[in-house]
Structure 1
Amino acid sequence: MRLSIKALLVFFIVLASCAPETETTTYYLIRHAEKDRSDSLNRNPNLTEAGLKRAENWAKYFSNIELDDVYSTNYNRTIQTAQPTAKSKNLEIKSYNPRNLFDSIFQAETKGKTVLVVGHSNTTPALANRIFAANMSVAEKPIYKNMDDRDNASLYILSFQKGGFGKKKVSAKVVKVQD
C-alpha cells in the first residue's frame, strides 16, 4: 500500500512538471495626449504643454510595469506621447499602421509580451475590439466604441493568459488615469 501511494505521488509530481507553461500577453492601449488644435488644417500636430505633461505622467504610471515593447502610429502626437515611457524603459518606439490593426505580424511580435500601444480616439478602441475578436468567441467579446475626441486619460488593459491543458484566462478593463 505504501508503495502505491509513493508511486502515485511520484506520478502526480511528474505530471505536474510536464504541464505546459502559461503564456501571458498583455496590451496597454492609450490614446495620444492633448494635441495642439490651433491650426485645424494641420493633420500632424504636436502635443501641447498639457499633452507633454500627460506624456510624462504616462511614463510615471508605467514606471513599475515591465514593458517589452512600445508601439505608436507614425504621427507627432502619438510618438511624443510614447517617447517618455519608451525612454524610461530603454526601448525603441515601434511604428504600426492603424489601417492594419492587429494583423498576423503584430500578433506574432506581441505574443507572450507586455506592450504599450499609443493610438487615436478611433484606433485605440478598434484595436481593443480586434484583440478580443482574435482571442475570444464573438458572444464573449466586448464592443468598445470610439473615444471622445477630448479623452486623453483612458487606459485599456487587455490580458490573455493561455495556460496548460488549453485553459485561457481573460482580463479586460478600461480605467481613467488622471494627472
Structure 2
Amino acid sequence: MKKFLLLLTLLFLNISFAQSKTTTYYFIRHAEKVDSSQNPDLSEKGLKRAELWNKIFSEISFDEIYSTDYKRTLQTASPTATTKKIEVKIYNPKTLNIDSFKRETSGKKVLIVGHSNTTPKFVNDIINQNLFSDIEDATFGNLYIVTIIDGIISSQLLKLP
C-alpha cells in the first residue's frame, strides 16, 4: 500500500510539473555605439559585445527575439538571431501593450534588446514592480532575467563586464 501511495504521489507530481508553464525573458541593452547621433551603428567594441552576447546565449533555445527599430539594437540582436535562425521582431516601447506582449510570449524563451531607459522600464512592467532604474550611460553588460512559472514571477540582474 505504501509503494502504491508513493507511486501515486510521484505520478501526481510528475503530471503537475509537466503542466507547468514557464516563460523566460532575457533583457539586454544595445552594445556600444559609434557616436551619440540619432541612429548610430555599433562601434567595433559594440560589435564584439554583440558577438559575446551570442556566445553567452549559445545554450538558450530562444523562441523569439525582439528589438527596437534602431541600428544599434538590431545589430546587437543580429548575431544571436542569425545563429538561432530567428527573425527579429520589432517592438516600440512607447506603444507596447505589456498584457498583450505577455500573452503572446507566454510559455516561451524570449530575448529583448532595448535601451538604457527602456530596458529597465520594460522589466519593471513585466514584473509589476518598480525595482530597476535606468542603466548608466557607460554600462552595456546588464542582463535581466525574468522567469514566470505558473504566474509566479522572479527576476535577477546579472552584471557582466
The answer, yes or no, to whether TM exceeds 0.5 is yes
**By how many angstroms is 1:142 displaced?**
4.8
Distance 1:69 1:142 in 2: 25
Question: Structure 1 unaligned runs (5+)?
Answer: 134-140, 163-167
Alignment of 1:120-135 (within 5 A): 120-133=115-128
Asked whether 1:65 is paired with 2:60, we answer yes
Change (3 A) 1:8 1:177: closer
Query: Tell me, what secondary structure is at the counterpart of 2:34?
Result: coil
Distance 1:31 1:23 in 2: 27
Residue in structure 1 matched with residue 27 of structure 2 by the alignment: 29
Question: After TM superposition, what 4+ stretches of structure 1 lie above 4 angstroms from structure 2?
Answer: 5-18
Query: Tell me, what secondary structure is at the counterpart of 1:44?
Result: coil
1:91-110 per-residue CA deviation (whole Å, 9 max, x = no partner) reads: 10010011134533321221
Residue in structure 2 matched with residue 177 of structure 1 by the alignment: 160
Residue in structure 2 matched with residue 82 of structure 1 by the alignment: 77
Change (3 A) 1:12 1:48: closer
Change (3 A) 1:6 1:145: closer
Asked whether 1:149 is paired with 2:132, we answer no
**Which amino acid counterpart does residue 75 of structure 1 have in structure 2?**
Y
Question: Structure 2 unaligned runs (5+)?
Answer: none
**Which amino acid counterpart does residue 171 of structure 1 have in structure 2?**
S
**Which amino acid counterpart does residue 160 of structure 1 have in structure 2?**
I
Distance 1:75 1:177 in 2: 23
Distance 1:94 1:107 in 2: 15
Flag the structure with larger Rg. 1
Distance 1:48 1:93 in 2: 21
1:120-176 per-residue CA deviation (whole Å, 9 max, x = no partner) reads: 00000000100011xxxxxxx3521111122111111111111xxxxx543311112
Q: In the comparison of the two structures, how many residue pairs are matched?
A: 160
Query: Tell me, what secondary structure is at the counterpart of 2:101?
Result: helix
**Which amino acid counterpart does residue 79 of structure 2 have in structure 1?**
P
Residue in structure 1 matched with residue 102 of structure 2 by the alignment: 107
Q: Taking structure 2 as the reference length, what is the TM-score of the superposition?
A: 0.88
